[in-house]
């Protein structure tokens, strides 16, 4: 599966009000592994950034004067994104700006060029309800080193978000042992491995581990509003 973690920096907060994109950072994941095939653009927005935006990203108007306009990189960007799952933190914001840039060029909206869009902010709110779920907060919570992030930058933020996303979805990894054969090639009638000759030890969780486990289950219960399968099974068996 090809995934692109994407972030933008802009002149302000309102695409509809005329604000434009000044920076795009993209990080490629293939089978959940960083490939190094990244994209990074600084763009001339043809207008100055708002003072508050300058305090966030620190990219001066003078620096952007000789940079290409979005129209000059649009084809390269869309070709790079084509068919991939796009991962964005607060996707509504970035997608809104990208759609506005594409609209100005008479192009189709982003969803027509990519496979899907995943919003990690929405994911985090489900996993950690009631908590701060900014990129910095998630980095701190998940042990992602963001010490180099003194200002927002599209490529740096995309790199941090890639690490955050892997941590958020770590439980989705398939618990499969690589047999060296492609999936589906094993014969349906192949003999199962006989483990009866092995003395397999049973290692019980200690008190601290059990409490940590219950805390995670409690968070899942809360985010699913009491619809977790194991709780329902436990109630029916009681």
The Cα 23–Cα 20 span in angstroms is: 9
**Given 40, 50, 152, 213, which residue is catalytic?**
152
- Tokens 């200002």: give the residue: 151
- Which DSSP state fits 58? -
Token pair belonging to 87:
């991962």
Cα–Cα distances in Å, from 83 out to 79, 163, 203? Answer: 9, 22, 45
Closest to 5 (Cα-Cα) out of 86, 113, 97? 86
Active site (annotated) includes residue 213 = no
* Cα 13 from chain centroid (whole Å): 21
State the pairing for strand pair 85-88/116-119: parallel
Residue 199 makes CB contacts below 8 A (sequence gap 6+) with none
Sequence-ordered alpha helix ranges (H) in the chain = 51-57, 61-64, 70-81, 91-104, 120-127, 135-142, 154-168, 207-223, 229-237
At 184, give phi and psi (nearest 5°): 90, -5
| β-bridge partners, 27 | 5
The Cα 146–Cα 81 span in angstroms is: 26
Residues designated catalytic: 152
């Amino acid at each position: 599966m090809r995934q692109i973690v994407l972030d933008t920096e802009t002149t302000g907060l309102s695409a509809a009000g005329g604000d434009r994109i000044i920076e795009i950072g993209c990080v490629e994941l293939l089978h959940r592994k960083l490939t190094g095939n990244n994209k990074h653009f600084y763009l001339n927005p043809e207008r100055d950034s708002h003072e508050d935006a300058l305090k966030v990203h620190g990219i001066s108007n003078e620096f952007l004067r000789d940079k290409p306009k979005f129209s000059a990189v649009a084809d390269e960007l869309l070709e790079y994104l084509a068919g991939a799952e796009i991962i964005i933190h607060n996707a509504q914001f970035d997608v809104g700006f990208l759609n506005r840039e594409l609209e100005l060029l008479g192009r189709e909206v982003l969803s027509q060029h990519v496979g899907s869009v995943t919003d990690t902010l929405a994911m985090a709110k489900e996993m950690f309800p009631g908590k701060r779920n900014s990129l910095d907060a998630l980095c701190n919570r998940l042990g992602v080193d963001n010490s180099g992030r003194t200002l927002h930058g599209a490529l740096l933020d995309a790199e941090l978000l890639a690490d955050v996303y892997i941590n958020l979805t770590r439980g989705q990894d398939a618990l499969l042992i690589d047999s060296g054969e492609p999936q589906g090639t094993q014969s349906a009638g192949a003999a199962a491995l006989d483990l009866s000759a092995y003395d397999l030890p049973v290692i019980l969780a200690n008190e601290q581990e059990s409490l940590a486990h219950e805390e995670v289950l409690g968070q899942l219960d809360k985010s699913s509003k009491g619809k977790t399968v194991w709780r329902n099974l436990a109630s029916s068996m009681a």
